Structure 1
Amino acid sequence: MTAVLLAVALSLVSAVAYAAAAVAQERLAARDSGGGVLRLLGAGAWWASVALNASAALLHVVALKYGSLTVVQPLGALTLVAAVPMGARAAGRRVGPAEWRGTALTLAGLAALLVAASGPAPERVLSLTGALAVAGTTAALIGVLSWPGARPGLRHATASGFASGVASALTQTVTVAATDRSGPALSPKVVLVAVLVAAFAAGGLLLSQTAYKGGLGAPLAVLTLSNPVAASVIGLTLLGQGLRGGAAGVLLALAGAALASWGVVLLTRPGPAPADEEHPVAAVLALGPETAAPEPVLVPGPSPDPGRLTRL
């Protein structure tokens, strides 16, 4: 139980770091006028987001050492929960009631999932053949979802989520195998799978940067949902990481997944617009023809000079 609590705590901190990185990436994408990755390489803010992603990934790796995929991956939804207030603050607005409701539903759903999935620390990992099969299948899916010329958006976010979820599954394989004292820490299997982890992690980062060109809310939500789906499928089908409580545990997990999904949907809806009094320039620009300020009228007025006009 202590190992599960440690995995949850590490996942919480990791989610906050991922959220900060996502907000930074979205702001960079919003200002991107072209140039692609080469232009980003010269931006200090992008490297700061890369550092945040790397720190979050490191915490995630340690969490996977102490918790199963079915525990750690659903906690990735907390990235969206943390990104909502961060993104609102960066945009100069308040968090709306729908966003608060989405946060509450997401947290309730995650709590139910944790109760159903809180199993022991992982012992079984992917074989080399299994890792290569998972990597090949995922690479093919990513290629279909993000073919050249595809418009940035939800397809890229889905591909990014799949890449990150598979990277987590492979990371757990590397972590458990590398710390297994029965064999060498740097066996050919560990090295090869570590290379695959690096490739999928880098691909997921670049795909998310592309997806955020369409905004933060919907792409981050799709990424947040597709990530644990990919990892949980691997954990449940290939690693034997089942749910606790039998049929009751399955029902609890399904109810939790439904609550968390609905919460994520609410979090993707646009937040409230800033108040007009906080943005006087926007208020002036919003004036229509019927509400526009009247032009000054020049009328003859009493004056010693007969040709002089008085401004009303």
Structure 2
Amino acid sequence: MTVLAVGLALLGSLFFALGAALQQFEAASTARVNLRHLIRRPRWLLGGLAIAVGTALHIVALKYGPLTVVQPMGVASLLFALPCAAALQRRRPQSGELAAAAVIAIGLIGLVLVVPEHTGDPHLSTGGAVTLLAGAATAALALWITAGQAAPAARAGLLAMAAGVLYGATATLTRVLVDGNWEPWFLLAVPMPALIALALLQRAYAVGHFGISFAALQVADPLTAVAFGALLLGEPLPTSTSSMLIALAAAALTAAGTVALARTTPMSPTHDAIAR
């Protein structure tokens, strides 16, 4: 069953990566980066369908395997996404960007593995939900404002990070809805950060640095969910010295890989043509 779970999770990562690459290609090839315009483009919608299939496969994988085995497999989407994006741009992926992505993946796997699994039912009060939404919105707004003054690669990363923060908040609320006690208004609150995150992510994709934006998303989303889970849901964090050292080393690898990826991943040729 564990082997089946790993296979499903890897297949889900491939679909997720393909969907992200398709959506980035469409976002970078249009001067009008808004959801109303993008949803009229069949390839962008196909990317959304691929992401939905990837998410569903990952959820099914969690039924057959433990979280500590399945969750790290999602990081493989970063390694799949770069070749997919390169194929759409009709180029070969650079060895440097693949190496940087591998370093990020190793770092993320290390961070995921040192977080203890929580076995209790999560509970989020009304005040806690307001704190979660307000905190995520404040962080995303700060990243969005900073992105406006940044260079292209940094702007793509900051916008995607803002999207990742909001997706992390959405994941936290979803976990409460699925497993815990919640208030009825939570159902109305869940779509808001997800839709804003989707819009921010398309703006990040439109900048053209797909590698850095996708990596920033993959880093910010799980780390935000873990932070909110610990602060608001009482989920455990690593406490032993060895776990803390592993977490620090993994964080350093992730940061170094992200910086390297920002320096190696090329702009989308389509975006360059529009900019001119």
Return the TM-score normalized by structure 1: 0.69
Shift of 1:28: 0.6
Alignment match of 1:206 (pick from 179, 199, 214): 199
Deviation of the 1:30 alpha carbon? 1.9
Displacement after TM superposition at 1:58 (Å) = 3.9
Counterpart for residue 227 of structure 1:
221
Structure 1 position 136, deviation (Å): 2.1
- Following superposition of structure 1 onto structure 2, how do residues 28-39 of structure 1 map, counting pairs within 5 Å? 28-34=26-32, 36-39=34-37
Residue by residue over 1:137-172, the C-alpha shift from the partner in whole angstroms, topping out at 9 and shown as x without a partner, is 22233334436x947734422221111111111111
1:181 paired residue number = none
Residue 217 (1) aligns with residue 211 (2):
yes
Distance 1:49 1:144 in 2: 28
Map of 1:136 onto structure 2: 134
Are 1:158 and 2:161 counterparts?
A: yes
Change (3 A) 1:230 1:93: same
Could you tell me how far apart the structure 2 residues matched to 1:266 and 1:32 are? 27
Partner of 1:257: 251
Contact 1:243–1:249 (8 Å) recurs in 2: no
1:41 is matched with 39
Deviation string 1:216-267 (CA, Å, 9 cap, x unpaired) is 1222222222212211211222233334571111111221222233233333
Evaluate the alpha carbon distance shift between residue 160 and residue 24 of structure 1 in structure 2; reply closer, same or farther with a 3 A threshold.
same
Q: Identify unmatched segments of 5+ residues in structure 2.
A: 150-154, 268-276
- Root-mean-square deviation (CA, aligned residues, Å) is 3.5
- The question of 1:240 aligning with 2:234 is answered yes
For residue 169 of structure 1, the aligned residue among 166, 169, 172 is: 172
Q: Structure 1 vs Structure 2: percent identity of aligned residues? A: 30
The unaligned stretches of length 5 or more in structure 1 are 179-187, 274-312
Check the 8 A contact 2:211/2:265 in 1, yes or no.
no
Check conservation: 1:105, 1:260, Cα contact below 8 A: yes
Note the 1:20-169 alignment, pairs <5 A. Answer: 20-34=18-32, 36-59=34-57, 77-121=75-119, 123-146=121-144, 150=148, 153-169=156-172
Q: If each structure's helix is expressed as a fraction of its own residues, which one has the higher value? A: 2
Q: Kindly indicate whether the alpha-carbon contact (under 8 Å) linking 1:80 and 1:220 is maintained by their aligned counterparts in 2.
A: yes
CA distance in structure 1 between the partners assigned to 2:110 and 2:54 by the alignment: 24
More displaced 10-residue stretch of structure 1: 111-120 or 54-63: 54-63
Larger Cα Rg: Structure 1 or Structure 2?
Answer: 1
| Residue aligning to 2:271 | none
Out of 215-224 and 259-268, give the one that drifted further: 259-268
Residue identity matched to 1:203:
I
8 Å contact from structure 1 (residues 243, 250) kept in 2: no
The residue number in structure 2 matching 1:19 is: 17
- Please give the alpha-carbon distance, in whole angstroms, between the structure 1 residues aligned to 2:84 and 2:219: 19
Distance 1:25 1:14, change over 3 A: same
Q: Distance in 1 between matches of 2:187 and 2:8?
A: 21
Q: Give, in whole Å, the separation in 2 of the partners of 1:119 and 1:272.
A: 38
C-alpha change, 1:114 and 1:224, in structure 2 (3 Å) is closer
Report the CA distance between 1:9 and its aligned residue: 6.1
